[in-house]
Amino acid sequence: MNMWLRSLASVCLLLLIFSCSPEKKAIKAFKLGKYQTTINFYKDILVKQPANGKANYFMAESYRLSNRIKESEKYYERAKGPGVPKDSALFYYSESLKANGKYDEARKKLEELELTSQEDKMKDRAQKAIDGLSYLDKLAEKQSYYKVKNLEAVNTQLSEYAPVYMNSELYFSASRSGSKIYEANGTPFSDLYKATTKGANVDVSSIKPLPLTINAPNINEGCITFSPDGKIMVFGKGNSGKRKGTNDVDLYMSRYRNDAWTEPTLININQPDGWDSTPAFGNDGRTLYFSSNRKGGYGGLDIYSAQMDSRGRFGKVKNLGAAINTAGDEMFPYVAENGKLYFSSDGHPGYGMLDIFVVNRANGKALIENLGQPVNSTGDDFGMFLFKVDRGFFTSNRDGGKGDDDIYTFVNEDPNLKVVNYLLQGVTLTPKKSEKGNEILPNTKVTMLDDQGEVMSETTSGTDGKFNFRVYENEDYTLIGETDGYILKRESYSTKGKSVPIELLKELITNITLDTLLILEKLEKNKIFVLQNIYFGYDSADIRSAAAVELDKLVQLLNDNPQIRKIEMSSHTDSVASNSYNLQLSQRRAESTVNYLKKKGIEEKRLDAVGYGESKPIARNTNTDGTDNPEGRQRNRRTEFKILDIGELPKKPLDEEDDDKYFKESEPIKKNN
């Protein structure tokens, strides 16, 4: 894999260790990521001093960080002695052995590390690596239906990687002879190219670089993605090395206007001094997945998501979590048409270096699956892209290729391959004012949460009130609808029991549409809501468990709608017993509900308790002939809340605002010079 896509996590540690070394030229080159320069310097030292531990360690690290870990093995073996971080050298020695297919030797080094290390984190990482080697035995037993082939029409002796298919064109990153040499790994800088293709049949004569507005001289460009409509391009661009350049790899965006791509601009989620690249749009055209080494992650490079608004700004950056990210590197995310996330990692159990994984969902949980051989190898395997459900492209620098990184095609011939896409289609509504029924409530923000309360996706309903989300079988969700002037509404939805048995399907792809409604109430003073299932025992004001469930919903509503400053909790009775007795009983019951809400964290100043007794019936307690009307009495024995006071919404934090003023005054985050 092209070197500039790798993490530089250990640079600072090495600089601290060797900052007083006389080899200042080599240290400076290493600091700047000019690993080939560092290698050339220490090669001369090792000719005279082959056992020099420091020189061997710098050689090993330079090869590893420039993505040549296979070549680092012999240097890690001799990287010993004062000043060399023993645990780190031993761990990456095992990784280099693993990359060269020497699994038994790698296991022995890991077992040694587990016994000798004084660091719990390193012991844990060693144990996970040992477990990963054991996993390979199980993976070998799994039958693979993949067939792979080198895409020779595109590949050269240099590097071609990160393929993307869009509108019968293949986009990819490549190093081509004739450009300036990149000092990190001694190969030419990479640019973005495209070619006309029918599936995997590339028209070689059509291969050409993207325009100079995209490809800048002597800077690495790579890893491109497009919005589903093809009108937005996001790609990674490296540091220029100039004072006014950025410090590391960043994400840039360009729009297709007037038959040309606009001048790329830094998008606003890049981190100062951070590495942000390998972008991929989700199927919704708003979610952008990318890899970053920003603070707060699980290790080297982690995969994150961000949401793009209608103005092209990104926000709500979210780490995809420990199920996907590890202490190693996770990168090259890609979301297929069936909603599955593919990514590459050297932290999950694999054959060595980067392997390609897919995230399968089962009962709301993410299950990580290594695609196995022949997709994966002991080399770097990454950049998966499907142009059909059963075929696509990926990248590998495995043995037997034409050069460095090569693009490969694949076909999945699994006879049981069936894809079921579940789509939840809904409509946002509000009750009509003057008659029964509901009417369309357009332009309503709708958010879908998983069963842990985490945001999965969000959208805005159209003028017809319609919205849709991709959902998965046997999962529970919460839908949240919100728009100005209305009470935020939560609604549960479950796909449990709604799955289609795959064995009954005949088509390769089956789309299943599920339906739901999301009804929002107008936010108005003096509006009354009847709480269902708020029942009390005879002559009692104790809160029963069923009533607690309904009151918990009211707690959630008040927390969701802080602009509701005050409500009246009222209790009503039927006409049994005297009027004074019913007033006292209803007051006790109203106060009981208020006390429950207070215990759940609702401020006392937002609550009033009023008992109305039998004074406000909503149905007859007796029939016209004087006989008892039990149904009417039950309706009268009710608990209600009424909105007494409405204020303005509390001001949102700056990163959550979405008004015109914010977007006019704010500028994209810029790197330090």
pLDDT tens digits, one per residue of 314-344: 998 999 999 999 989 999 999 998 889 999 9
Q: What percent of the chain has pLDDT over 90?
A: 66
pLDDT in the model for residue 502: 85
My answer on whether 429 and 403 are in the same domain is no
**Inside any domain, residue 408:** yes
Per-residue pLDDT tens for 438-496? 999 999 999 999 998 988 888 999 999 999 999 999 999 999 999 999 999 999 999 99
Least confident of 24-38, 420-434, 513-527, 648-662: 648-662
My answer on whether 22 and 97 are in the same domain is yes
Phi, psi of 312, deg, nearest 5: 85, 10
Whether the CB-CB separation of 358 and 366 falls below 8 Å is answered with: no
pLDDT in the model for residue 652: 58
Among 491, 519, 547, give the residue marking a domain's end.
Answer: 519
Per-residue pLDDT tens for 68-108? 899 999 999 999 988 899 999 999 999 999 999 999 999 99
Per-residue pLDDT tens for 361-385? 887 888 999 999 999 999 999 999 9
Cα distance between residue 293 and residue 664, in whole Å: 30
The length of the chain is 673
pLDDT in the model for residue 178: 63
Q: Is the four-CA dihedral 196, 198, 199, 205 of positive or negative sign?
A: negative
Per-residue pLDDT tens for 107-142? 999 999 999 999 998 999 999 999 999 999 889 888
pLDDT in the model for residue 658: 41
pLDDT in the model for residue 154: 95
Whether the CB-CB separation of 52 and 59 falls below 8 Å is answered with: no
Which range, 59-63, 218-222, 541-545, has the best average confidence (pLDDT)? 59-63
**Inside any domain, residue 654:** no
My answer on whether 371 and 511 are in the same domain is no
Neighbouring CB atoms inside 10 A of 624's CB total: 7
Residue 662 has pLDDT above 50, yes or no: no
CATH number of the domain residue 556 falls in? 3.30.1330.60
My answer on whether 452 and 540 are in the same domain is no
pLDDT in the model for residue 656: 45
pLDDT in the model for residue 671: 29
pLDDT in the model for residue 673: 30
My answer on whether 600 and 613 are in the same domain is yes
Residue 536 has pLDDT above 80, yes or no: no
C-alpha distances (whole Å) from 604 to each of 117, 355, 550, 608 are 56, 57, 19, 8
My answer on whether 135 and 46 are in the same domain is yes
Mean pLDDT (whole number) for 586-613:
95
Residue 60 has pLDDT above 90, yes or no: yes
Cα distance between residue 635 and residue 84, in whole Å: 80
**Inside any domain, residue 661:** no
3-state helix, strand, coil in the chain (%, to 5): 25, 35, 40
Whether the CB-CB separation of 426 and 516 falls below 8 Å is answered with: yes
Residue 538 has pLDDT above 80, yes or no: no
**Residues sharing a CB contact under 8 Å with residue 139, sequence separation 6 or more, in sequence order:** 349, 370, 372
Per-residue pLDDT tens for 247-304? 579 999 999 999 999 999 999 999 988 899 999 999 989 999 999 999 999 988 999 9
Among 141, 162, 183, give the residue marking a domain's end.
Answer: 141
Report the number of distinct structural domains present in the chain: 4
My answer on whether 427 and 563 are in the same domain is no
My answer on whether 505 and 557 are in the same domain is no
Cα distance between residue 319 and residue 412, in whole Å: 30
My answer on whether 360 and 379 are in the same domain is yes
Among 351, 383, 412, give the residue marking a domain's end.
Answer: 412
**Inside any domain, residue 626:** yes
Burial class (CB in 10 A: 0-12, 13-18, 19+), 10: middle
Whether the CB-CB separation of 35 and 184 falls below 8 Å is answered with: yes
My answer on whether 428 and 576 are in the same domain is no
What domain range includes position 74?
3-141
**Inside any domain, residue 656:** no
My answer on whether 125 and 213 are in the same domain is no
**Residues sharing a CB contact under 8 Å with residue 582, sequence separation 6 or more, in sequence order:** 573, 575, 576, 613, 614
**More reliable by pLDDT, 354 or 362:** 354
Which range, 15-19, 313-317, 355-359, has the best average confidence (pLDDT)? 355-359
**Inside any domain, residue 660:** no
Whether the CB-CB separation of 408 and 393 falls below 8 Å is answered with: yes
Concatenated DSSP letters of 284-334: TSSEEEEEE--TTSSSSSEEEEEEE-TTS-EEEEEE--TTT--SS-EEEEE
Mean pLDDT (whole number) for 163-186:
82
My answer on whether 202 and 346 are in the same domain is yes
Structure confidence at residue 653 as a pLDDT band (50, 70, 90): low
Concatenated DSSP letters of 260-277: EEPPPEE-TTPPTT--EE
**Inside any domain, residue 398:** yes
pLDDT in the model for residue 82: 85
CA 651 to chain centre: 27
Burial class (CB in 10 A: 0-12, 13-18, 19+), 159: buried
DSSP label at residue 525: T
CATH number of the domain residue 397 falls in? 2.120.10.30
Cα distance between residue 403 and residue 395, in whole Å: 12
**Inside any domain, residue 666:** no
Question: Position of tokens 């390193």?
Answer: 122
